[in-house]
Amino acid sequence: MKDFGRQWRRIMVKLSGEALMGTGSHGLDARTLETIAADLAEAARRGIETAVVVGGGNFFRGIAGAEKGIDRARADSIGMLATVMNALAIEYAIEKQGRPARALSAVPMPSICEPYSRQAALHHLGKGRVVVLAGGTGNPFFTTDTGAALRAAELSCDAILKATQVDGVYSADPKRDPNARRFDALTHDEAIVQNLAIMDTAAFAIARENRIPILVFSIKEPGAICAALDGLGKATLVLP
């Protein structure tokens, strides 16, 4: 696989809230948070402008809340607040690694973190700060996958790095189907034809329309983000 770090100068990392739990059932795992923050800081040190959209599933998932009787719009709002908690934790963890970072929220809460605007995010990226984007799109009924694709397009990112719990895109769920085949590379159109679950429909439509490559890899190992950028290890590249 290619050394993407040499050709991608601005990236969007999509990080799930669950990735921050470590082996726990919920919340934040300090060692996992430190490991991921070190990886993000290293990407920025290489001169790659690095933005991150983080989910909130380690604290609260809007869909799960709706299933428990909370109306979906309100449940999604609670989920957005969970992403802000994660963003603040990541911001601090990156700064502990000696790299400046800024948390920006699509849901304005200026006493806690900076409200999101395209101009502010581009300014911080240009200064070499890791930009951690919270609050999803700022609207209910949209996932943080959609938020990542939207911000990637808005900020003219060269690629979306989707950090997952599996090492790429498979023809079926590898946990359920031992015969599932992993793809090294495929196109957006091939992913649609084969109905591969890379991102949710709205997110994938934005990436496809804006011709943004998506690199899908596992976040489980230390240094996974930089390894993916270096073309090391297993990953799937989804190309326009």
For the stretch 196-213, pLDDT in tens is 888 988 999 999 999 999
Better-scored residue on pLDDT, 64 or 118: 118
88 — pLDDT class (breaks 50, 70, 90): very high
At residue 65 the predicted structure's pLDDT band, cuts being 50, 70 and 90, is confident
CATH number at 136 reads 3.40.1160.10
Residue 52: count of CB within 10 angstroms of its CB: 30
The torsion of the CA quartet 106, 64, 59, 78, rounded to 10 degrees, works out to 40
SS3 (DSSP) at 28: coil
Total Cβ atoms within 10 A of residue 74: 13
Structurally, how many domains does the chain consist of?
Answer: 1
Q: How far apart (Å, rounded) are the C-alpha atoms in residues 164 and 167?
A: 7
Pairing mode of beta strands 182-183, 169-170 = antiparallel
Helix (H) / strand (E) containing 236 = strand 235-239
* Pairing, β 10-15 against β 159-164: parallel
The number of beta carbons lying within 10 Å of the beta carbon of residue 205 is: 15
Range of the domain at 230: 4-239
Least confident of 12-21, 149-158, 163-172: 163-172
Strand segments, DSSP code E, in 25-170 are 49-54, 101-105, 114-115, 130-134, 159-164, 169-170
Closest-CA residue to 14 (of 160, 209, 141, 215): 160
- pLDDT tier at 102 (50, 70, 90 boundaries)? very high
Model pTM greater than 0.85? yes
User: What's the chain's average pLDDT?
Assistant: 93
Q: In what order do the strands lie in the sheet with 130-134?
A: 114-115, 101-105, 130-134, 49-54, 10-15, 159-164, 214-218, 235-239, 185-187
Q: Which of 28-37, 111-120, 136-145, 172-181 has the lowest mean pLDDT?
A: 172-181
